[in-house]
């Protein structure tokens, strides 16, 4: 096993988190002793978690599912609702519900990569979620999100984060920075996690930046238009496809809860009557199929 692991790590170095690369020596470079027992001891997850996400399926498999590759959404957004209710129904703590949801979110990354989606954005913690019980918020901010980020860094995808980081714990802010820096050159799926994010917050911060530019004489009042607002939104600064094509919300709730209010203007909405930890690949494929059967008019008219 040790010999196999060493050979595997040599071929997958670019997908390793920086912390593990540093264990090899060279301060984060790729050179070093891959047979080091220190490196093997610090592999905290099963080896399968270091495998890259699946990339693509055959045309035949797409056709069997009634899907067309040219109609695949580029950006899928998810509101992963129902973790706490799932736990409560089973007599478990909210923390156990979030842990179950984390596994499904990892599965969603694999589904997106497999079926050809370019961007997956997840509404992980809203600006309103601070009102939840103190113990739950502490768990999320001091343990859960750090572990989630560390685990997802092993998937070989690019990771980005949107939201107000100013009042996040320093250790979490450092983990987010590390994840973005370590995965910035990865190709394939781009995973975006919204932490302490809200659509109103995003529009407000964009408006403040534009107002500052007007005040400083960089732009004139007449220069302000929707394209300028687009440019100042957090999603536009990090994503090739900033506006979701498809929004999926679980738990049967029929609202968007202050998520990407500007960006969702022409998104297709799909609601699943399941709690998030119950979501599976069949549900995801059904959402893709529903999306592909719709006509997107963007305010125009198609005959």
Residue 268: its H or E element: strand 268-271
Structure tokens belonging to residue 2: 């040790």
Dist. CA 288–CA 115, nearest whole Å: 9
Is 81 part of the annotated catalytic residue set? yes
The answer to whether 35 and 6 are in contact (CB under 8 A) is yes
Dist. CA 86–CA 93, nearest whole Å: 10
The active-site residue out of 33, 81, 107, 245 is 81
Residue 248: its H or E element: strand 246-249
Burial degree of 234 (CB within 10 A; 0-12, 13-18, 19+) = buried
Sort strands 75-79 and 246-249 into parallel, antiparallel or unpaired. Answer: parallel
The answer to whether 68 and 292 are in contact (CB under 8 A) is yes
Task: Give the three-state DSSP class for 63.
Answer: helix
Structure tokens belonging to residue 193: 């996690």
- Residues catalogued as catalytic: 81
């Amino acid at each position: 096993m040790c010999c196999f692991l060493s050979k595997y790590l040599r071929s997958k170095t670019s997908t390793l988190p920086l912390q593990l690369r540093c264990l090899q020596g060279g301060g984060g470079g790729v050179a070093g002793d891959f047979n080091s027992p220190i490196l093997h001891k610090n592999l905290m997850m099963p080896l399968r978690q270091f495998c890259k996400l699946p990339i693509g399926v055959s045309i035949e498999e797409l056709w069997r599912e009634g899907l067309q590759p040219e109609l695949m959404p580029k950006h899928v957004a998810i509101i992963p609702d129902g973790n706490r209710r799932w736990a409560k129904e089973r007599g478990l703590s909210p923390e156990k519900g979030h842990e179950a949801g984390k596994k499904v979110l990892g599965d969603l990354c694999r589904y997106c990569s497999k079926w050809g989606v370019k961007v997956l954005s997840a509404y992980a913690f809203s600006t309103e979620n601070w009102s939840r019980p103190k113990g739950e918020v502490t768990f999320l901010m001091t343990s859960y999100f750090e572990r989630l980020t560390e685990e997802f860094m092993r998937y070989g995808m690019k990771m980005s984060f949107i939201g107000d980081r100013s009042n996040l714990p320093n250790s979490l802010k450092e983990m987010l920075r590390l994840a973005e820096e370590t995965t910035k050159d990865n190709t394939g799926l781009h995973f975006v996690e919204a932490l302490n994010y809200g659509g109103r917050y995003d529009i407000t911060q964009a408006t403040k930046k534009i107002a500052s530019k007007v005040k400083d004489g960089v732009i004139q009042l007449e220069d302000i238009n929707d394209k300028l607002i687009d440019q100042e939104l957090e999603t536009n600064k990090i994503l090739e496809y900033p506006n979701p094509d498809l929004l999926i919300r679980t738990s049967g709730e029929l609202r968007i809860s202050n998520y990407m209010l500007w960006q969702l203007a022409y998104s297709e909405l799909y609601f699943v009557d399941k709690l998030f930890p119950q979501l599976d690949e069949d549900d995801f494929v059904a959402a893709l199929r529903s999306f592909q059967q719709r006509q997107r008019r963007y305010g125009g008219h198609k005959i």
